[in-house]
Structure 1
Amino acid sequence: MTSVADGFLRTERVARATPAAASRLTSIDALRGLVMLIMLLDHLRETWFLYVPLSDPVDARTLMPALFFTRITSTLCAPVFVALTGLSAYLYGQKHTPAETSSFLVKRGLFLVLLEVTLVNFSWRAEIVPHFVFLQVIWAIGLCMIALAGLVHLPQRAILALGLAIVCGHNLLDGIVLPPESPFYVPWAIVHQRSALEAFGTTIKFNYPVLAWIGVICLGWSVGPWFSQLAPDERRRRLLLLGSGMIVAFVLLRALNLYGDKPWFVVSGDALRTVMSFLALTKYPPSLLFLLPTLGLGALLLAGFERLEGARVSHWLSVLGGAPMFFYLFHLYLLRVLYLSAMAIWGPNHGSIFGVSSLAWVWLWYAALIVPLYFPTRWFSNLKKRRKDISWLKYL
């Protein structure tokens, strides 16, 4: 852990530095845009393939392999997006006072929480009076930003140490499971235990307990000095070392089968399902072994986009990453309109819901929607850049 901390903070030894915080980094937006596109695939699966019962979306024993690997593709999204939120907050803080940074994080966090319980929840079920309220990734990011608003006043090393302690140690709390009658049931559900609550005829599901995600946003903040003080070549080198090290650490810890997630198992005579078991990791809340490969791959991709600075694909993805909340809301409502249209035309064909007959259709829909989603997002991204006088645009 000491060597990791030194790697994060030893920026004064680099001879050449670049004021990266002075302008928006294309590599960060490009990576954010990539994970938004990956997220689209998972939400298409949830729209058109929801009739396939999934008690566990990564059940290596029963899930068909194509659906399993389609699902785990999306596991990259939440960890990378939360880490980039912390990194972007650090860069924002380089141009603002700590008080201004805290104020922005609190306002942005409260805005995201409000979006989750209103527009985001409505997009999933289109119910005026909701029977279910899902507190998911936008809710978690909002609470993480509010937590970070207080933590930014701590020394950089303290934030890094806290992030490492949470990410590496939060699985020690897995054995603490509180019953609904406990007075601490709801606070613990918000913090660590994935649970549900019945209130006024509505089921509130705490799908994204925030403790581990607070650790991730702290680590994202802690890597910020690499982007404000280091030369690009040195930054890429460190990102490659960090990403490779996290993936190696995942493989070693997973092979030991001692800590960090539920045990994996060997399926006799079925090498593919054995591999699936090795890769089946807990997302709710994210385990240490879930976060190591996803954040590691995110670091490697970020290094790749640093090298692709100026390339056309990097520019296209950065357009999506430059207006992430617009893309998020727009694609959710587009998918809801498409689903309701299919229900109106063909009616339910799998019980009470409509679904496509093959997972291949999900991938075809995915390929067909990327371009139609790109152009509205580009328009809004350009609007944000052009209309700096409209203060609320920065929250989208």
Structure 2
Amino acid sequence: MNRITTIDVTRGLVMVIMALDHVRDLLHISALTQNPADLTTTTPAIFLTRWITHLCAPTFVFLSGTSAYLSLRKRNGVSARRFLLKRGIVLILLELTVINFAFWFDIHFHSLMLQVIYAIGGGFIILSFLVRLPAKWVGLIGLIIVFGHNLLQLIPAFTDSTARFMAALFFRVEFFAISPSFAVLVAYPIIPWLGIMLVGYAFGQLIEQPLEQRKPLLLRIGLGCLAVFMLLRFLNGYGDPAPWSPQKDGLFTFLSFINVTKYPPSLLYDLLLLGLMFLILAAADGVNNAFTNWLTVYGKVPMFYYILHWYLVHLSMLAMSFLQSYSFADIPSGPLNFGRPAGAGISLGLVYMVWFGLVLLLYPLCKWYGRYKAAHPEIGLLRYV
């Protein structure tokens, strides 16, 4: 029971943090004009507001792999592989339809953005074939991908548009302006994130160990990941396409040091953020209090939370715009446009207030859905959402 609670608590925590980034993206006054990771223009508060949310995607993907392992332990081989395959397909379909509509509120679908749900769905499809192998072999494949995929940066991009698109689906972050009215952004290519998922799958064996053995091991793994990160980052060689450099003061130099690449996730990004994830798992392991119980409500229904929070964030953006005296005529349209008027926006402090309010609003909805899902195991569709 502690094992499952530990996963749910950690997943719930990063999902709560995730909503902060999306509220900032759609509502912060400077989000349309300022890159929060650009140390020449950002502020420490804006940088760290964005940076802390880096924890979300790798944790979500890693624990998806772990949950797949634990779920497959309850099923026989054929049905387990079939379930993973179906779930992967369902997730990709959700990304292309329900979730992309939440991004843009565009019934004509002028934009498609392939994000984390696409990467998880593609990872599940590939994992459905790899689960025939022992878990430790699956984990080894994952480690090879995590430590080696930065070598792909040395390969020149394809010039043929079809080959470039296929390469983007699996390896590269790419933007494709298909026509003046339709664009595709591949933000989460499958393979770099697959490595994280496969390591998470093999991690399922560790999480099954007794608490007294598991908790110190989680701590050692987390500290080990951070130590390797520190060494490789200090050397400023392999592991991230963006090296750190001395800045105008010590704080900004530190920000440069931790300013690792997410698109696609670099080795140093994986080591730093997964190292922190292991420390959170260790801290949450075996803990049962009001705060962990609160987080568990979100962590038990991750897909429901993910879909619903995007709709609420986007509706909040529209409400903000109308409250600031903009009208439907002021809402811009076109590919990769959230529909926020250029002058609309709120301060970072108000972003935090909206974020906290939305998270609280989601709590009773997630609690209701978690109970409904548990009470109706006969409804097969609920297994996918």
Q: TM > 0.5 between the two?
A: yes
Partners of 2:113 and 2:162 lie apart in 1 by 21
Q: Percent of pairs identical after alignment?
A: 38
Q: Contact conserved, 2:34 with 2:42, CA < 8 A, in 1?
A: no
Residue equivalent to 1:395: 384
298 and 55 in structure 1: CA distance in 2 versus 1, 3 angstrom threshold: same
Please tell me the root mean square deviation across aligned C-alpha atoms, in Å: 1.9
Match for residue 136 of structure 2? 157
1:43-66 Cα offsets, whole Å, 9 max, x none, are 110121164345744122222221
Mapping 1:334-353, distance limit 5 Å: 334-348=312-326, 352-353=341-342
Contact between 2:113 and 2:185, CA under 8 Å: does it hold in 1?
yes
- Aligned residue pairs, count: 372
* Corresponding residue to 1:223 among 194, 203, 206: 203
Q: 1:94 to 1:52 in 2, by over 3 A?
A: closer
User: What runs of 5+ residues in structure 1 fail to find an aligned partner?
Assistant: 1-19
Deviation at 1:382, TM superposition (A): 0.7
Decide which of 103, 113, 125 is 1:134's aligned counterpart: 113
Partner of 1:312: 290
1:214 pairs with 2:194 = yes
* SS state at 1:165 partner: helix
Query: 2:3, 2:207 within 8 Å by CA — same for their partners in 1?
Result: no
Aligned pairs for 1:132-211 (under 5 A) are: 132-199=111-178, 201-211=181-191
Is 1:42 the counterpart of 2:31 in the alignment? no
Q: 2:98 aligns with which of 119, 128, 138?
A: 119
Q: Name 2:334's counterpart in structure 1.
A: none
Q: Normalised by the size of structure 2, how large is the TM-score? A: 0.92
Is the Cα–Cα contact under 8 Å of residues 60 and 280 in structure 1 kept in the other structure? no
Partner of 2:230: 251
CA contact (8 A) 1:102 1:149 kept: yes
Tell me which amino acid in the other structure corresponds to 1:44.
V
Match of 2:55 among 65, 68, 76: 76
Contact 2:29 2:346 survives alignment (8 Å): no
Report if aligned partners of 2:321, 2:341 keep a CA contact under 8 Å in 1.
no
1 CA distance for matches of 2:297 and 2:113?
28
- 1:236 counterpart SS class: helix
User: Are 2:308 and 1:330 equivalent residues in the alignment?
Assistant: yes
8 A contact 1:171–1:288 mirrored in 2: yes
Q: Secondary structure at the match of 1:307?
A: coil
TM-score between both structures, scaled by the size of structure 1 = 0.89
For 2:371, what is the secondary structure of its paired residue? helix
The aligned counterpart of 1:91 is 70
CA distance in 2: counterparts of 1:51 and 1:116, whole angstroms: 27
Structure 1's 182 and 356: CA in aligned 2 closer, same or farther, altered over 3 A?
closer
- Residues 40 and 52 (structure 1), Cα distance of their counterparts in 2 relative to 1, 3 Å cut: closer
Alpha-carbon offset, residue 265 of structure 1: 0.5
SS, match of residue 25 in structure 1: helix
- Written as runs of structure 1 = structure 2, the 5 A alignment for 1:293-304 is 293-304=272-283
Structure 2 residue identity aligned to 1:168: F
In structure 1, the residue matched to 2:337 is: none
Amino acid at match of 2:70: L
